[in-house]
Structure 1
Amino acid sequence: MDVNKILGITQHAIIFVQKVSYVYAVKAKMDALERNMETVSAKKADMSDQLEQEERRPGKKRKREVDLWMQRAVSLEDQVHELGGKVKGRRFFSHLMLAHQARGLATEVDKLHEKGRFDNGLALDVEPARGYELQPGELVGHASQTKRDEIWDCLMNEEVLCVVLTCFHLII
């Protein structure tokens, strides 16, 4: 057998083995990408819960950069899911074309994970509203008149420093 033919067959075999290993590497990269995306998704869910708690407090408002980060996380979740479907549903040589996309998405997910550290918190301190007046329903009956008089007496008493109403019913 001719040495050139043997070298040619050997080179083709080496290229074929490299491509097969590259396909498996794409699958491994896709698995790693999906795991990293799961971490970012969990962080997004935790941030959403934390924001919900913070925004219940008066004087707190979520930062726009946090909203932008969360929108980007949703977009990347969709892209990673779509790419994962392509990798699982395509044939051998198609994986080679998807490798570049997987690398690019992996870089974006890593950057997003890094940017998800909001050291100064997720919400801003804003000046709370000055308040507003609630119009109570009409007070009726002798008991309500007695309580109103009792509260008024406390307000007019200079020795009383604070009046705390423990039960207030508002009828809307």
Structure 2
Amino acid sequence: MISAADPAPGRTLLRVGWVLLGAAVLLALAVAVLVLGPGLALTQRAAIGTTLDVDVPAGRDWAVYTSLRTWRAAGCQVWDADGREIVLRPDITQQRVIGRPTWYPQGSFRLDRGQSLTVRCEGPPGQFAVGRSVGLGHLLLTLGVGLVGALVALAGLILVIVAAARGGRRSGAGQAGS
């Protein structure tokens, strides 16, 4: 049994609080990767009015993004390796991608097999790129990880404060008794 005079519970609280704060920092880094990762992945870009050839793996949703803020401000077309047009579907759950510049979705598509695509966008001056579609699921994941991180940080901070207050009270009581 642990007595009230035993300093171990205070140390344990302090240790757990610091571990939780460390976990919160890791979760904050995960949120940063979720927010900035898709924009950093858009490495192949082209000026609107030109053509871009990209290799795209199968099995996930892809999107065409432009630096133009207005949805469908640029007319974008995608063709597969055989020259057939891939129709861009309007996807209202797509999210803009944060980066330099910020990328705005123009439409998305899904491929049954990986292949080389040719993409062309026409419209006002700007840039376009092809990348993974960032939709509502990605947004919810980012918000969920951020919320869990905030709760873990709050719990860790409370434990550190409680442990520090208990330690201060004990050291003050120990000094008064001497």
Whether the TM-score (by the shorter chain) exceeds 0.5 is no
The structure whose residues are more often strand, as a share, is 2
- TM-score in terms of structure 2 length: 0.36
The structure whose residues are more often helix, as a share, is 1
- TM-score in terms of structure 1 length: 0.37
Which gives a bigger RCO, structure 1 or 2 (Cα 8 Å, sep 6+)?
A: 2
